[in-house]
Amino acid sequence: MDIHSTVRNGPANMKPVCFSVLCCLLMTAVAQAQLDHPAPIKIPESEASAEKEMKEYSEVVEHTRNKFEMVPIPSGKFMMGSPQKEKGRADDEGPQHEIEIKPFWIGKTEITWDVYEVWMSDIDIQIRKVYGKATNQRDKLADPLTISKPTAPYTDMTFGMGKRGYPAISMTQHAARTFCKWLSAKTGRYYRLPTEAEWEYACRAGTTTRYSWGEDASKIGEYAWYYENSNDKYQKVGKKLPNPWGLHDMHGNVCEWVLDQYDIEFYGKTKSGALNPVNIPFKLYPRVVRGGSWQDDAEFLRSAARLGSTEDWKYQDPQEPQSIWYHTDALHVGLRVVRPLETPSKEELQAIWDKALPLQFDKDNPEE
């Protein structure tokens, strides 16, 4: 559906103003879920008012047994991109430029199906109904976001590769962003996708080499799942050695969504010393994934390697129009979440962190 023509002309039986009104209502629910929030789930290790107080903690997905680990990342500066002489380097990895990053937490591993399906399939709502659990204030803020959850997939989105302990895959960036908004509401702590700069900073973990373990690609089997050792499928998270900052699978297993639009010229446009840059997306394709995957060769798992999404990632989607939630042919794409030490203001959310165009609307869920 061409949303611009829909808003301008209006489809049959729908007034042109409907999408705008519904979009405003949804944005209001999201803003409330992220900012006007009751007390978060009590996790003492998650509390910090300054960088020196940041600790590793386990986030709880309420009403379930699922948790995921968050690791503190210090503020600092690094050279983003790769030097011209790096083996396997692509043109979109330069020019190298210095970037400054504020402190944040990042997932120790990629988000698994165990966690993702709680939102994708409304599992927490079902548990509350079955066991007669009362709906708390966080639930009341999160539940309206279920109007933004994925419609039922046309097939098993694991594609038979495994579910418990395995990374969630094949979601669009829109789905990944919406999951983060729901997660923020459920926990009372603000989560989002990393920026491309934050992702590379965390991946490098203070190193300047091709990989976070060094220059030697022959050691890749100790740290990553890739084409040569993956047995043609993704693998359970956290089974390979971590990088120097304790993060698993930053290289390989599945590529990971970041917030940015993919632009081969963006590095050249970014001023040296820029603080927390992000290339806000204004078109659907291409958008950036990082890290390489189980189906890639070693050179595509380097710390600086970049990849942009394409329409081919929906090639086998039989729906018309195609889903805004699933990339049926992106079995190599997943996500990892971050939580900045400083929670952004409502104005910052609207201007930067939540901004992505064009707006996405679900053909099967007109209230979305």
Q: What is the pLDDT of residues 284-323, one digit of tens each?
A: 999 999 999 999 999 999 999 999 999 999 998 888 888 8
Residue of 61, 49, 198, 80 whose CA lies nearest to 122: 61
The position carrying tokens 């966690």 is 115
Given a cut of 70, is residue 11 above it in pLDDT?
no
9 or 164: whose pLDDT is higher?
164
Query: Which has more pLDDT, 296 or 30?
Result: 296
C-alpha span between 123 and 59 (Å, rounded): 17
Coil/strand/helix, residue 5? helix
Q: What is the pLDDT of residue 5?
A: 34
Main-chain phi, psi angles of 26, to 5 degrees: -65, -40
Tokens (6 digits) for 29: 């629910």
Q: What is the mean pLDDT of the chain?
A: 89
Which pLDDT belongs to residue 36?
Answer: 60
Beta strands in 81-168 (DSSP E): 97-101, 104-107
Q: In what order do the strands lie in the sheet with 97-101?
A: 76-80, 97-101, 274-275
pLDDT band at 364 (very low <50, low <70, confident <90, very high): low
- Do 110 and 335 contact (CB within 8 A), yes or no? yes
Domain 3-353 = CATH 3.90.1580.10: yes
Task: Give residue 153's pLDDT.
Answer: 81
Which residue in this structure is represented by tokens 């209230």? 367
pLDDT, residue 365, reads 61
Strand, helix or coil for residue 99: strand
- What is the tens place of the pLDDT at every residue in 176-193? 999 999 999 999 999 999
Percent of the chain with pLDDT over 70: 87
Return the minimum-mean-pLDDT range out of 15-24, 56-65, 189-198, 230-239: 15-24
Which residue's entry shows tokens 């699922």? Answer: 66
The pLDDT of residue 320: 80
Most confidently modeled of 15-29, 139-153, 289-303?
289-303
Q: List, edge to edge, every strand of the sheet that includes 306-308.
A: 306-308, 287-290, 255-261, 333-334
139 to each of 107, 128, 167, how far by Cα in Å? 23, 10, 25
Are 315 and 329 in contact by the 8 Å Cβ rule? The answer is: yes
Query: Looking at residues 96-105, what average pLDDT do you find?
Result: 98
Mean pLDDT score, 59-81: 96
Question: Looking at residue 3, what is its pLDDT?
Answer: 34
Record the tokens describing residue 199, joined without a space: 């992702």
> Which tokens go with 274?
């820029």
Q: State yes or no: pLDDT of 212 exceeds 80.
A: yes
